[in-house]
């Protein structure tokens, strides 16, 4: 009886319509899957071709090998370029983080004359196309007869990293609860102690995030580097120069290794954070 009633009240939906309804309901998810596929195709390709036994020109699939992973410095110029990129990245991150954090505290914590112009000066480098930043710095170096190379590149990287550090740290400062500092003052901490024991630890994650951002921006930069590095080779520059005749598979190894390293760091960081929140 009940079975009959069910059959009568719920007409069976034809398969076509059901598929249509399912697609309609999940359209946005399908779309997201499509977008992620688009994002990851070249990453997967780079990873796959890091196992290619192709010698110098890694264009066509030859044979599977672990050789490149066992000896990532097998193409010496790759490791040399990587070393330069890491050195430049660390120096640029160090200086940009210090200078940027100081600016962020000034803008985020103080009301002073000229604050809006200060904000504008921070916004401008981000709104300037990289090629203009790179070309203008190079022409300044040329005027002062400074040869492009290692330090000019570091300076160029600091210029474009500062703004991103300021924006990131400022956001963190803005999200702080001012009552925490007031509480510290109420407990007879002086200004310096409050800063050192309360403010700074609370802002620290923002500073760390800004430093990571600065490093990855510096490490991946090509256009500004190309203008100011002269004969010095960085990792992106090496790839650009050798793109025409094929990139050694060791570059794919380093690119893939960076990918997994960074991914692991981010995921571990999130897990640690989650545990802390609990």
Partner 1 sequence: MGKIRTPYLLLFPGFAFLFTFFILPIINLAQTSTQTKIAGGDTGQYEQTLHFRNYIDAFVENREQFGRSFLYAIISTLLALAIAYPLAYAIAFKSGKYKNLLLVLVVAPFFTSFLLRTVAWKQILGEEGFVVPTLRSLGIISQSTTLTSTSFAVVMGMTYNFLPFMTLPLFASIDRIDPRTLEASGDLYANGFTTFRRVTLPLSMPGVVAGTLLTFIPAAGDYVNASILGAPTTKMIGNVIESRFFKIVDYPTAAALSFTLMAAILILVTLYIRKAGTEELV
Within residues 10-29, the interface with partner 1 by CB under 8 A covers: 28-29
Please identify, using beta-carbon distances, which residue of 13 and 266 lies nearer to partner 1.
266
46 binds partner 1 (CB under 8 A): yes
Per DSSP, 61 falls in state -
Decide if residue 263 touches partner 1 (CB under 8 A): yes
Q: Which two tokens stand for residue 153?
A: 């590149």
Residue given tokens 């300076």 in the structure block: 155
Q: Which of 88, 158, 198, 214 binds partner 1 (CB under 8 A)?
A: 158
Q: In this chain, which stretch among 6-14, 70-78, 199-207, 236-244 interacts with partner 1, using CB under 8 A?
A: 236-244
Q: Does 214 bind partner 1 (CB under 8 A)?
A: no
Residue 105 in contact with partner 1, rule: CB under 8 A: yes
CA gap 72, 43 in Å, rounded: 18
Nearer to partner 1, 7 or 264 (CB): 264
Determine, following the binding rule CB under 8 A, whether residue 135 of this chain makes contact with partner 1.
yes
- With H, G, I as helix, E, B as strand and everything else as coil, classify residue 229: coil
CA 50 to each of CA 74, 82, 170, 218, 247: distance values in angstroms, whole numbers, following the listed order: 13, 16, 40, 24, 10
Cα distance between residue 278 and residue 274, in whole Å = 6
Give the shortest CB-251-to-partner 1 separation in angstroms.
7
The answer to whether the CB of 53 falls within 8 A of the CB of 62 is yes
Q: Quote the least distance from Cβ 266 to partner 1, whole Å.
A: 5
Which region, judged by CB under 8 A, interacts with partner 1, from 4-12, 86-94, 97-105, 180-188?
Answer: 97-105
Size of the site for partner 1 (CB under 8 A): 81
Binding partner 1 by CB under 8 A: which of 13, 18, 21, 36? 36
What's the Cα-to-Cα distance from 265 to each of 20, 108, 212, 259, 271, rounded to whole Å?
A: 41, 29, 11, 10, 10
- Give the one residue of 53, 83, 136, 146 binding partner 1; rule: CB under 8 A: 136
Shortest gap between Cβ of 278 and partner 1 (angstroms)? 14
Residue 31 touching partner 1 (CB under 8 A): yes
Stretches 9-17, 70-78, 102-110, 198-206: which one binds partner 1 (CB under 8 A)? 102-110
Place of tokens 């059959």: 7
Q: 156: which residues sit within 8 A by CB, 6+ positions away?
A: 133, 134, 137, 224, 225, 227, 228
């Amino acid at each position: 009886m009940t079975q009959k009633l069910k059959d009568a009240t719920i007409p069976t939906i034809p398969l076509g319509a059901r598929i249509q309804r399912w697609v309609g309901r999940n359209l946005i998810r399908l779309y997201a899957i499509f977008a992620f596929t688009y994002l990851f195709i070249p990453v997967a390709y780079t990873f796959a071709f890091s196992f290619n036994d192709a010698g110098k020109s890694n264009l066509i699939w030859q044979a599977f090998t672990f050789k490149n992973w066992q000896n990532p410095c097998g193409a010496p110029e790759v490791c040399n370029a990587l070393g330069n990129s890491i050195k430049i990245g660390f120096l640029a991150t160090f200086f940009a983080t210090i200078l940027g954090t100081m600016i962020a505290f000034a803008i985020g914590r103080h009301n002073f004359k000229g604050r809006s112009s200060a904000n504008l000066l921070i916004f401008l480098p981000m709104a300037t196309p990289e090629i203009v930043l790179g070309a203008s710095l190079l022409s300044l170096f040329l005027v002062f007869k400074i040869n492009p190379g290692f330090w000019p590149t570091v300076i160029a990287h600091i210029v474009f990293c500062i703004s991103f550090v300021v924006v990131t740290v400022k956001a963190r400062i803005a999200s702080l609860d001012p009552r925490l500092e007031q509480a510290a003052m109420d407990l007879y901490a002086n200004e310096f102690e409050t800063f050192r024991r309360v403010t700074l630890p609370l802002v620290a994650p923002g500073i760390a995030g800004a430093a990571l951002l600065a490093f990855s921006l510096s490490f991946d930069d090509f256009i500004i580097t190309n203008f100011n590095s002269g004969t010095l080779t960085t990792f992106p520059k090496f790839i650009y120069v050798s793109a025409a005749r094929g990139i050694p598979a060791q570059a794919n190894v380093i690119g893939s290794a960076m990918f997994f390293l960074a991914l692991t760091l981010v995921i571990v960081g999130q897990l640690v954070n989650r545990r802390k929140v609990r």
